Structure 1
Amino acid sequence: MSYSHHKEKVCISTRKVYDWVTRQVDVPLKSFSNSDLESIFPDNKCPRHGKTVCEFFTSHGFDPEDFSIRCFLTDEDGNRIDPVVDNNALICQEIIQPNGRQPVQVTLPSGETVTLQKVKVLVKGHVVVQVVNANGQVVCESDPIPFATAQTFILCAPEGTVVDCHISFFECDASLICTDNFSQLDVSITLCLEVQMEADVKIEVEARFCKPREEILEATLCPTDKFPPQCPEVFPAH
């Protein structure tokens, strides 16, 4: 791509970022015990034949060392998704406040006082828990487990801006506790939430119009030297 030498002012329409923050969010621990534990592991995904989840493992002679628990993000139907790749992996939206975004006075490190806005964001999604044996086979799988968290941010969010948020990191850990008198599944979720306040704007910039560059052609595969190099010092000079 090449540029002309003449500069001129142009008006372009683009999306402006008014503020941008990243926060690590630890979703409140989700615990399931007794009947709640049994309900999230349906028989078609965990063939227990009337046994409880812990009785099922005990009847198979499983010790805690014999199986592992894994947890991952899914859609509402239980299909595994990558939150970094799929921007629609989670529901992330602003919680509309009755009186709008409340103004907040903030003192900057420089000592200057500025007015920002309080923005509340709701994050919702689902995870699935799998119990895997020593051979890597899935022995039991849960139904999609919903989770949600509400976060409050202090941002530059004047009227007319909208929230855009996505997940840059997601981690889910689960542990199953089985004793003679107690059974419980604990699910912990940690995510990195990126929140931006944006608005469509028109701005004036000084620019030069560009045009396509000259194409660089791929080198030909056909040889150009048909004959080997000669030795003129030897032949036919002498």
Structure 2
Amino acid sequence: MDHSHHKEKVCIKTRKVYDWVTRQVDVPLKSFSNQDLEEIFPEHKYHRDGKNICEFFTSHGINPEDFTIRCFLSDEDGNRIDPVVDNDALICQEIIQPNGRQPVTVTLPSGERVTLQKVKALVKGHVVVQILNANGQVVCESDPIPFATAQTFILCAPEGTILDCHISFFECDASLVCTHNFSQLDVSVTLCLEVQMEADVKIEVEARFCDPREEILEATLCPTNKFPPQCPEVFPAH
């Protein structure tokens, strides 16, 4: 039977999105001072003789203001990763509640009352902080610093749906404060979290079967157009 020109009803299995939201998340600020600084910038990497980063700078007559600090997302081994491409390096999963997803009744902008579900998501990852000198060379690099945040969403999430979440944007900032009697590193993380509730479903659609297209053969090496293009707008003259 020729299926190329008529439509018929077919049943397909696909992933249905029940709900989809995006949220900007500001992870709580992480601060490190004194002993904490020694732990995240391990001495065996930089031979600091027991000094933390600020003490190391001071003892060598280096002004911390002459350095820049950058922060980036990494895996647990400290390797830089792209949050949009390498989402597998981040943990983004549902927090299972003892009594399941709790129903929540909300009022829509239209005034309609609907019952949705409370879904909790856990996001975990690591960042690395680097200190660079005026020439852009890395002077010190931290061990991977873990971060985590738990977020609660009100979604259409009936039983049988699963949480799918990923990071669409990631930003990490770090600042180092060094004085004569005070040392502190602050790390802040901002990310955009996209959350979807999904389930595999079977749906009926009206469609027609596809036929393969004609193959496009490799162009010949011999030129077929022997003349340059004309300029009819200006020549021959009217």
TM-score, normalising length from structure 1?
0.90
In the alignment, what sits opposite 2:195? 195
Alignment of 1:25-174 (within 5 A): 25-174=25-174
* SS at 1:131 equivalent: strand
Q: Which sits farther off after the overlay, 68-77 or 48-57?
A: 48-57
Maintained 8 Å contact 1:45/1:142:
no
Q: Percent identity?
A: 88
Quote the offset at 1:129 in angstroms.
0.7
In the alignment, what sits opposite 2:183? 183
Quote the offset at 1:55 in angstroms.
1.4
Measure the CA separation in 2 of the matches of 1:216 and 1:78: 47
Quote the offset at 1:225 in angstroms.
7.3
* SS at 1:31 equivalent: strand
Measure the CA separation in 2 of the matches of 1:112 and 1:213: 49
* SS at 1:85 equivalent: coil
Correspondence 1:11 to 2:11: yes
Measure the CA separation in 1 of the matches of 2:96 and 2:138: 42
Query: After the TM superposition, which parts of structure 1 deviate over 3 Å for at least 4 consecutive aligned residues?
Result: 223-227
Superimposed CA distance per residue, residues 141-197 of structure 1 (whole angstroms, 9 cap, x where no aligned partner) = 111111100000000000000000000000000001000111000000000000000
Maintained 8 Å contact 2:38/2:51:
no
* SS at 1:38 equivalent: helix
Runs (5+) with no aligned partner, structure 1: 228-238
Larger Rg: 1
User: Which amino acid in the other structure matches residue 70 of structure 1?
Assistant: R
Measure the CA separation in 2 of the matches of 1:13 and 1:126: 37
Whose strand fraction is larger, Structure 1's or Structure 2's? 1
Quote the offset at 1:218 in angstroms.
3.9
Quote the offset at 1:53 in angstroms.
1.4
In the alignment, what sits opposite 1:232? none
Shift in alpha-carbon separation, 1:155–1:222, aligned structure 2, 3 A = same
Maintained 8 Å contact 2:78/2:127:
yes
Superimposed CA distance per residue, residues 101-131 of structure 1 (whole angstroms, 9 cap, x where no aligned partner) = 0000111111111110000000001111111
* SS at 1:6 equivalent: coil
Shift in alpha-carbon separation, 1:6–1:136, aligned structure 2, 3 A = same
Shift in alpha-carbon separation, 1:26–1:206, aligned structure 2, 3 A = same
Runs (5+) with no aligned partner, structure 2: 228-238
Quote the offset at 1:219 in angstroms.
3.2
Measure the CA separation in 2 of the matches of 1:225 and 1:86: 48
In the alignment, what sits opposite 2:234? none
* SS at 1:123 equivalent: strand
User: Which amino acid in the other structure matches residue 14 of structure 1?
Assistant: T
The total of aligned residue pairs comes to 225
Shift in alpha-carbon separation, 1:137–1:4, aligned structure 2, 3 A = same
Q: Which sits farther off after the overlay, 82-91 or 24-33?
A: 82-91
